[in-house]
Structure 1
């Protein structure tokens, strides 16, 4: 201010004082300092002068703040901030309520000093993983290579997110004249009078890098999924692979094409009979649908292609999908499917058993092959030669001795005998203690007299181990041991705690069985019999 006043000359002090809103004395002091040649800048206060920081005046402030922003499991459970957004303003209010007067800006400075920053949730926790997850990925890769090397088609299938049809907001932005956005509805409620929704079911040819999308208008059912694959085969597959006699499908573990969906298998069996194709299905392990190739090689590009564009009709959806391309050469075809698909279709056990379906030796619940009905016998022989599926025989395993197979128990015969020898006296003593408590007196009959146990102690141990291995349900084990289900339940209840107490951890098996025929077929494999020494 003094420098400006000197430049203005006479009357400059008053003019600068009025412009700056200060007194003329202040400006005059500045002029005197300049004219005296004194240092214009420097410390005004002595070292240590001025207002102290909040944390210096209040030593408990920092600890109180950290107590509020710690993770919920370590913070104060009675704090009102436990269930609210911890903004700097709310943190300042809570600290003030506790007796620490502080502003929101100071709270922000303290948090940054302590290494805190604003962070969003990170999607990194995948939950429990199936122990065979990586092995299943390797198995799918091997199956794909085997099909591709012989010129057979390999496709990835899935249902894309259902889309509302009409003037609804679609995520994303597109170039338009400034201030002229596309006008859409203020809500996303389904308009019952409009064309409702679109259900895109995609088929992605992994080798050819070609997508085919069947846009349904009714329900996402197993029948719709297989109908989409059938339409792809008629429109593209049989022309692109004229010599094909096999088809590999990789699919998610759930949804209309899930591995537990019975209608999916029956519809695929019908498709195999119509086309003469041997259809092999390999499902992605649970919780890994994001690794299905159709997700990042087809669906993601479709979403980017129509971003910011309202899907006003089925024709717009079909045209937008068909116009999707990438720099790596992806091409897409799309068709509208106006057929109706009933929900609630029931498939009985007898219908499943009658299917020309053979489960693979590795995770037969995830990997299975459906054969054309007229070539079932020849296909069974080919499967046995390839060792990837198992021919089915009618007979069941002959007694518990056949169930001692190392592939079923996860132990060698010697290990199983050692566990049995270790647990047998413990189980017998425990059962005698329980019976003595029930009788309330000493035994009247000699040991071994009276009704015999339905299962020997060794068989009870074997049944509990097989159940721990998760090869099947208790109902299946009851059929294999030729007892009622309650006997298996009692055996598992008795044996499992003793197994855990003595450190015997029984891992789950890769094979899963539903009927005694499945177990018999598994045990009937010739190579399996060679290595079974029990």
Structure 2
């Protein structure tokens, strides 16, 4: 039995560093190694068409070469997506960059920035693209994945999008009525200082966030319970930090502190 998941993992690990011909040859060689059924399996795992994988298999078996810089026979192939869809790169960059928080049509952003989610989000905007192409264009925009390589995501609830659309609409209604709309979050006890956190994000290439090498607790600063309140309309944050156990009373006190701190004027005429 062919392990398509493993094929997909291998492909995604190298696809961004290969040109079109190299990706085709890789897929062809992979299909050759699996024998019968290899072409279909590699096509499903990589997102390539069976025709492309089959061609790569023939090229890999024949050992044919092209001139320097060539990736396909002259005149072959289709136009790049960026030629047929000029607004694609701009739409992709807008999805990735944090500045999108200022979009008045979407006060809440909930799409995780994996290439699959980005491909789906682009599709909803009318830009048809495969997730492997999203990764390629992100690199062209000078983004790279940085941080821990823990990329597996849990399965989504079937009503997940509906839930968030409802929340998003409720927030928009509150903002239109000049009523406060906030997001809150709390975490387990955190080390105080410039320590590494789990996860990863797209950042300009060669510009990772610098943190300490070792996660030894600072004897002076220790650990705290952070609780954050974010005012969506004002684009302002309020963070309460406690040293006791994280309780409902602490959460309520944090919200009360925020409300008193903004003196009921954080969203203009909110009552």
Q: Do both share a fold (TM > 0.5)?
A: no
Which one has more relative contact order, counting CA pairs under 8 Å at least 6 apart?
A: 2
**Greater Rg, structure 1 or structure 2?**
1
- Give the TM-score range, shorter chain: 0.3 to 0.5
TM-score (structure 1 length as normaliser): 0.21
TM-score (structure 2 length as normaliser): 0.37
